[in-house]
Amino acid sequence: MWLRIVTLIQKEVLATLRDPRNRIALIMPPILQLFLFSFTGTLEVKHVALGIWNRDYGQVSNELIERLSASPNFGHVEFAHSREELQQMIDDQRVMLAITFLPDFSRDFMEQHVAPLQMIADGRKSNSAQIAQGYVTQIVNQFISEQTPTGNSPNVQVIKRTWFNPNLDYIWFTLPSLAVMITLQICLNVTAMSVAREREMGTFEQLLVSPMRPLEIIAGKSIPALILALIEVTIFILITIFIFRIPFHGSVPFLYLSLTVFIIAMIGIGLSISSIAVTQQQAMLGIMTVLLPATLLSGYAAPIENMPDWLQPFTYANPLRYIMVVIKGVFLKNMPPIEILNNTWPMAIIALFTLSLAAWLFRRRLA
Amino acid sequence: MNTVNQSNHGAKWLVEVTGLVKTFRPNGPPALDHLDARVPASAITGLVGPDGAGKTTLMRMLAGLLLPTSGNIRVFGFDPTTQPEEIRSRIGYMPQRFGLYEDLSVIQNLRLYAELRGVIGNERDASFERLLTFTDLKRFQGRKAGALSGGMKQKLGLACALVSRPELLLLDEPSVGVDPISRRDLWKIVQELVALGIGVIWSTAYLDEAELCDAVILLHEGKTIFDGPPKELTDRVRSRTFQLRVANNRRKILAEALRSPEVVDGVVQGDYVRLVLKDGGARGGIERFADDRRLRPVAPRFEDAFVDTLGGLPKEDSLVAGTMPHRQREGGAVIEAKGLTKRFGNFVATDQVSFSVKRGEIFGLLGPNGAGKSTTFKMLCGLLEPSAGTARIAGIDFRRSASAARSRIGYMAQKFSLYGDLTVKQNLDFFSGVYGLSGQQRTSAIDRMIDAFGFDRYLGTPSGQLPLGFKQRLAMACALMHEPDVLFLDEPTSGVDPITRRQFWLQINGLVDKGVTVMVTTHFMDEAEYCDRIGLVYRGKLIALDTPDGLKRGVRSPDLPEPTMEQTFIRIIQQFDTANEHSSNQIDTQIEQRVQPQMQTLTGPPMNSSAKKFSGRRLGALVRKELIQIVNDPSSILIAFILPVMLLFLFGYAVSLDSTRIRVGVVMEERTAESESLLVSLRNSPYLDVTASFDRGFLEREMVAGRLRALLVISIDFSRRLYSTDNPAPLQIIADGSEPNTATFAENYLEAVVSLWLQQRGMETGTPVKNLIDVETRNWFNPSLESKNYLVPGSIAIIMTMIGTLLTALVVAREWERGTMEAMMATPVAIQELVLGKLIPYFLLGLGSMLFCTVVAVSIFHTPLRGSIFSLFLVTSLFLASGLGLGLLVSTLSKSQFVAGQFAIILGFLPGFQLSGFLFEISSMPNIVQLLTWFFPARYFVQALQTIFLAGDIWRIILFNSLVLAGFATLFFVLTARVTHKRLA
């Protein structure tokens, strides 16, 4: 039995590497994605365009305007001279925020009255707009605290620190997750397409006629995928650490344990797709149908806690959810092994389930 | 009688080819090598040769689908290189696999071809009537072409080719894979057509068909080796063909006879061994092989002449048999079928089939397609599980020990399933390992095969690049390394040239001599002669089981004194049908009566009007065809409706950037009125979900685990320093930077709560803080600030991208796959029509999907739609156009669905997701990347959608984006039109 499995593994590795189309698919998209998307997958808000209608021209407003302009968060400032102009700026999306300093703004401030400042945000980009508003508020508050004598009022100094990612570099957040995503894609591609391709070539029949048992075929197809996926993920991790210089703090053996379990779980899904799909085309569609929800429900694009309460339990069935926690934990947080294990055993259960499903589907297909 | 309007300028030949050369790969062997040929009218010209001889290449060139590398072609006096349209309007073309649209019904297929060839109005109805009647498909009009039997598909293919009264019919292997009965029917129809003046080129690998043609062009490795009436060729071996009467051990005698230098060729034929001898060779040495020591002269066959022309059989022994061990001819059946039954739902494919095969026997399983033959075969080699009954190999029941049973079997599939990318050696390694050979055993088995088959110089060649003969040998080697008891051969020699076929059977005979049992299925009747016994499966039952001669004797009758295998076969089926009162839809004895009257009106001047440059009618036909296919294809529905709903759902609910309740921890290092008060404020905030604790370590661990996103540390001297001027109380906010977006929000929320608390505290203690600047914020277009509102319109963009590119990628791939593209191109259809005919239906599908998504977005997600439907349709149409254009370009260039799919994802979906600005802010990306986003249509679409949904009709934005999208669309279409030729290569 082992001989047959080993033979199949050898063949799979050879066939995968020798097929030119596969070679392209294994190398090009991942590299493309890694380099391109690590730069685009950012929710950061930088270089925001700001529109200002200064009806005041006083000292305070000038000071504030200067501070806003100087801030690295704001890319450039456009000045409007009428309500219509300001409105158009927002409508045309030339600016994301538009601030109006009403007349008497500076005088009100000096005389210790409340000085009103109007801010209009482009709700079409509500996330970024909110963050940008935060920047404005910060600058305003900073200004106020420098001016106002505190006297007897309660006062605090807020010290802000960011752990795990001191500069809030988005790349630190994106890259580890991306490494996992790409590995996942490869894993699914290799397994889901493999049986479909053999069926189309006619060699699958040849396998079925041989003494190989269904379980042996599954083992023979899973192990190469596992090996390939682990190699690719290692390459990515090395690139992430040495080229992008993202710190790596965690435990290597536990990371690989977790990754292995994850990959096995996904292989099970890939093989299941493979047994259902009759053509390669269908296999591709199957991959997409699985990949999209898995990605979106994993915390990759947006955190799970933002999802509605009724939706969150579904993420427990998604192995991607757990590995995201692990990979970020290991890269950025020096996650202790116990936490890694905490996130690994659910994946193991899922893996068991998906592999059994694949085995069952295989047998059914054979009848 | 010549009733066809000869428009070929009075010349005698319809087709003239001189010195034609075609090479596909610059350094490779030529597919056609200085070919000369001529085809007359009113005749069936057979284009004969094995796979790879160049038949299809030649036919495609005649139809103008391929360009020659050099040489001259004239069809009706026109040159297909420069005047293809003149030719296409006068020919009918039937490609391999018939060129039918499986999802369309019989009548829909006919209508499509009629429209494409400009056959309209009353003429058309009359034409259909004739065609349907003489093909006997009238009662199957409404049936989908995919549900027809092989023979019926063949006739439909022919009808579609005849719809416009062509002068020349090009039929590319019309009888492949079709049982002998249907083949005969088709032949009769074609003969009638020829009698009326139509010229027919019929390409085939069956030499018995070649014999019946009026003239044959024999192709071998791209050269013409003979051109003329078949009789001329046959005459070459006149008085050189003989039969030897051999009662027993025919195969052995044959092998011995072949070793003599006088013998050029030999096969087994019934009770006899048939030989072709050299010219003027001594006869004496041969006569001794016969039982009665006599050489009986016999009429020559075309096949004999063919083999002789090719140089006869090379002299070699079955080397591989030499390597096999001799098995004892023990008793006991090696293959045993008992009451084998297979049901698919209500359909009984195989019904109680029982027989057994002894050791060293060649058993043939024959029968028309779809009659249960393949099902039986599959059950016996373990590929299918029987619904009832047992299948045993060497006494081992498949149901009990499938693996053990399979290890005794060797299997050769029809098209030699080998791993094309792996080398010969790697294939041998693999198959030997799979069958349990390792170490010394494996090495010696492989070495034996290499010696026996001569693989030496091919060891490192990928098997996909081997010549056909060697592929066959490799497949055989892989099946034999583990010295199986039984060899299963599934149509092993279809498409192979006669010499290779004979060599193959010599090898098999040698193996059988050593005690290997063979079960074979075939459509070649002469191969049936090699079998010791034949089982005929028809309508799921085993209706005959006997030696070939036994079967022949059974149907011998006064009108059929010396039946051939084929006639025997047909007669047995007829008898069965009559006995069981089945309607003979298999055999058409009335064909002559039915066909004749219709034939007269089948010829006349070609019916289609001038081949216009662009025809709306043709376009309409193509669009209708595509729509029908879409409706019938589950993947299109999946992509257009199910996937979008799923995505909308996910984007609407799963991807939310609104951090509504952030989990934070509060470290209470002291417990005072102040800190408690602050804690209460924090807990009261609707944006925060607070866990308070004295244990800082615990909370920190929670942050590491990801269960808290931020910590607020109230230090031990908080209250004391609260009112201090120069050393105010510190409040640490520690945010989890691994989720930067959430971290920012967490900080903002915490700070806001602290700020508010300070104010309130100040008021309570009588020391109010004046917040001197009041920032009043208004959010335009999205007052509730739900990220969903702007994500949903953006996600519609992603969905449209997917539909556009993914669908078209699939579309073209499917067309190529099914071989219908060829048939299309041989009609007068213009390139623009082809392209538009593909795009318009998918465009409509996309718009439909868009409407669907919008309705879902507005009604379920309550996304506002403030702009007009018109502007929505405008931008969507333009975006779809560009997406479809890109998809079509990609699939036309790649012709491989795998590559097309990858591109669709890389160029379509992923940039849509990452670079369009729908989720990730473009202005925050590095400048180079920002520049890149200008090249992706998705970016413009997203901006337009977000504006239309949330803001309304802001025309400056809408127009600008529309113009850019229109520009993209035009670019892709122009490129596609340039790249699509009505050529195949």
The per-residue pLDDT for range B228-264, each reduced to its tens digit, is 899 988 888 888 888 888 877 788 888 888 888 888 8
Residue B429 sits at φ, ψ, to 5 deg, of -60, -45
Q: Is the pLDDT of residue B608 over 80?
A: no
Q: Answer whether B662 touches A (CB < 8 Å).
A: yes
| B534 in Cβ contact with B364 (< 8 Å) | yes
d(CA B616, CA B3): 33
d(CA A219, CA A12): 11
Q: Which of B795, B923, B932, B961 to mutate to test the interface with A (most CBs of A within 10 A)?
A: B923
Give the Cβ contact number of residue B913 at 10 Å: 24
- Summarised one tens digit per residue, pLDDT across range A15-44 is 877 777 677 767 777 777 777 777 766 667
- Whether residue B747 and residue A160 make contact (CB cut-off 8 A), yes or no, is yes
Q: Cβ contacts (< 8 Å) between B438 and chain A: which residues? A: 3
Q: Answer whether B120 touches A (CB < 8 Å).
A: no
Tokens describing residue B203: 């390409």
Q: How far apart are the first and last CA of chain A?
A: 22
B757-795 CB burial, b ≥16 within 10 A, e <16: bbbebbeeeeeebebbbebebebbbbeebbbbbbbbbbb
d(CA B534, CA A342): 66
Partner residue facing B729 (CB), from A39, A130, A156: A156
Closest CA to A126 of B798, B781, B924, B957: B781
Tokens describing residue B209: 């068909």
Q: Is B443 left (phi over 0), alpha (psi -120 to 50) or beta?
A: alpha
Instruction: Locate the chain A residue with the closest alpha carbon to B745.
Output: A131
Q: Is B342 left (phi over 0), alpha (psi -120 to 50) or beta?
A: beta
Highest mean pLDDT: which of A137-141, B224-228, B783-787? B224-228
- Summarised one tens digit per residue, pLDDT across range B162-202 is 888 888 999 998 887 677 777 888 888 888 888 888 899 99
- Whether residue B435 and residue A144 make contact (CB cut-off 8 A), yes or no, is no
- Summarised one tens digit per residue, pLDDT across range B537-558 is 888 888 899 988 888 888 888 8
Q: Which of A34, A276, A305 to mutate to test the interface with B (most CBs of B within 10 A)?
A: A305
Q: Which comes out higher in pLDDT, residue B204 or B562?
A: B204
What is the three-class DSSP state of B91? strand
Q: Who's near A113: CB < 8 A, 6+ residues apart?
A: B772
| B777 in Cβ contact with A129 (< 8 Å) | no
- Range in A58-72, A231-245, B709-723, B793-807 the model is least confident about: B793-807
Partner residue facing A124 (CB), from B426, B782, B932: B782
Q: Answer whether B641 touches A (CB < 8 Å).
A: no
Q: What pLDDT sits at residue B598?
A: 57
Q: What pLDDT sits at residue B801?
A: 79
Q: What pLDDT sits at residue B625?
A: 86
Q: Which residues, in sequence order, are bridge partners of residue A159?
A: B732
Residue B376 sits at φ, ψ, to 5 deg, of -60, -50
Place of tokens 């039109």: B977
Strands (E), B606-682: 662-668
Q: What pLDDT sits at residue B506?
A: 84
Q: What pLDDT sits at residue B319?
A: 64
| A351 in Cβ contact with A261 (< 8 Å) | yes
Pairing of strands B13-22, B70-75: antiparallel
Chain B: closest CA distance from residue A308 (Å): 7
Chain A: closest CA distance from residue B519 (Å): 15
Residue B164 sits at φ, ψ, to 5 deg, of -115, 25
Partner residue facing A116 (CB), from B776, B789, B896: B776
Q: What pLDDT sits at residue A256?
A: 92
Longest dimension (CA), chain A: 94
d(CA B20, CA A333): 72
Place of tokens 């669309």: B969
- Summarised one tens digit per residue, pLDDT across range B467-480 is 877 888 898 889 88
Tokens describing residue A191: 């397994």
- Give, in order, the Cα–Cα distances in Å from B15 to each of B6, B39, B61, B117, B173: 13, 5, 11, 21, 19
Strands (E), B178-330: 199-204, 215-220, 223-228, 241-245, 263-269, 272-277, 296-297
Q: Which of B377, B924, B925 to mutate to test the interface with A (most CBs of A within 10 A)?
A: B924
Closest CA to B668 of B658, B655, B677: B677
- Whether residue A123 and residue B925 make contact (CB cut-off 8 A), yes or no, is no
Q: Who's near B201: CB < 8 A, 6+ residues apart?
A: B15, B39, B45, B47, B59, B62, B168, B169, B170, B171
Q: Which comes out higher in pLDDT, residue A186 or B943?
A: B943
- Whether residue A211 and residue B407 make contact (CB cut-off 8 A), yes or no, is yes
Chain B: closest CA distance from residue A117 (Å): 5
Report the run of H or E that residue B821 belongs to, with start and end.
helix B820-825
Q: Who's near B557: CB < 8 A, 6+ residues apart?
A: none
pLDDT band at B2 (very low <50, low <70, confident <90, very high): very low
Q: Answer whether B764 touches A (CB < 8 Å).
A: no
Partner residue facing B419 (CB), from A15, A148, A288: A15
- Summarised one tens digit per residue, pLDDT across range B333-358 is 888 888 989 888 888 888 899 999 98
pLDDT band at A151 (very low <50, low <70, confident <90, very high): low
| B37 in Cβ contact with B217 (< 8 Å) | yes
d(CA B704, CA B408): 59
Q: Is the pLDDT of residue B587 over 70?
A: no
> What is the value of pTM for the model shown?
0.77
Segment B896-902 shows an average pLDDT of: 62
Chain B: closest CA distance from residue A107 (Å): 12
| B917 in Cβ contact with B892 (< 8 Å) | no
Tokens describing residue B286: 């041969």
Tokens describing residue A330: 């290991």
Segment B612-637 shows an average pLDDT of: 80
| B432 in Cβ contact with B407 (< 8 Å) | no
Q: Is the pLDDT of residue B923 over 90?
A: no
- Summarised one tens digit per residue, pLDDT across range B501-534 is 888 888 888 888 888 899 998 877 778 888 889 9
ipTM for the predicted complex? 0.78
| B746 in Cβ contact with B713 (< 8 Å) | no
What is the three-class DSSP state of B809? helix
- Whether residue B385 and residue A366 make contact (CB cut-off 8 A), yes or no, is yes
Q: Cβ contacts (< 8 Å) between A126 and chain B: which residues? A: 657, 779, 782, 785-787, 789-790
Partner residue facing B417 (CB), from A153, A205, A335: A205
Q: Answer whether B438 touches A (CB < 8 Å).
A: yes
Q: What are the DSSP calls for B735-798, one per residue?
A: EETTSHHHHHHHHHHHHHHHHHHHHHHHHHTT-PPP--EEEEEEEES-TT--HHHHHHHHHHHH
Place of tokens 């026109």: B78
Chain A: closest CA distance from residue B980 (Å): 23
d(CA B434, CA B448): 18
What is the three-class DSSP state of B384? coil
Q: Answer whether B411 touches A (CB < 8 Å).
A: yes
Q: Which comes out higher in pLDDT, residue A219 or B591?
A: A219
| B152 in Cβ contact with B140 (< 8 Å) | yes
Tokens describing residue B584: 């003979």
Q: Which comes out higher in pLDDT, residue B64 or B590?
A: B64
Place of tokens 């098999």: B508
Q: Answer whether B859 touches A (CB < 8 Å).
A: no
Q: What pLDDT sits at residue B590?
A: 53
Q: What pLDDT sits at residue B585?
A: 47
Give the Cβ contact number of residue B70 at 10 Å: 12
Give the Cβ contact number of residue B214 at 10 Å: 16
What is the three-class DSSP state of B343? strand
> Chain-wide mean pLDDT for chain B?
81
- Summarised one tens digit per residue, pLDDT across range B839-879 is 888 888 888 888 998 998 889 888 888 888 899 999 999 99
Strand order in the sheet with A74-79: A74-79, A48-54, A97-101, A115-122, B773-780
| B884 in Cβ contact with B846 (< 8 Å) | yes
Closest CA to B270 of B295, B289, B243, B291: B243
What is the three-class DSSP state of B371? coil
Q: Is the pLDDT of residue A284 over 80?
A: no
- Range in A160-169, B87-96, B111-120, B127-136 the model is least confident about: A160-169
Q: How far apart are the first and last CA of chain B?
A: 39
CA A230, A231, A235, A241 torsion-angle sign: positive
Segment B111-122 shows an average pLDDT of: 85
Partner residue facing B790 (CB), from A46, A90, A124: A124
Q: Which residues, in sequence order, are bridge partners of residue B219?
A: B224
- Whether residue A155 and residue B407 make contact (CB cut-off 8 A), yes or no, is no
- Range in A267-271, B33-37, B97-101, B548-552 the model is least confident about: B97-101
Q: How many residues does chain B have?
A: 985
Q: Cβ contacts (< 8 Å) between A43 and chain B: which residues? A: 657, 740-741, 919-921, 924
Q: Who's near B141: CB < 8 A, 6+ residues apart?
A: B105, B106, B107, B132
Q: Residue B600 gets which letter from DSSP?
A: H
Q: Answer whether B319 touches A (CB < 8 Å).
A: no
Instruction: Locate the chain B residue with the closest alpha carbon to A277.
Output: B635
Q: Which of B647, B698, B719, B738 to mutate to test the interface with A (most CBs of A within 10 A)?
A: B738
| A193 in Cβ contact with A15 (< 8 Å) | no
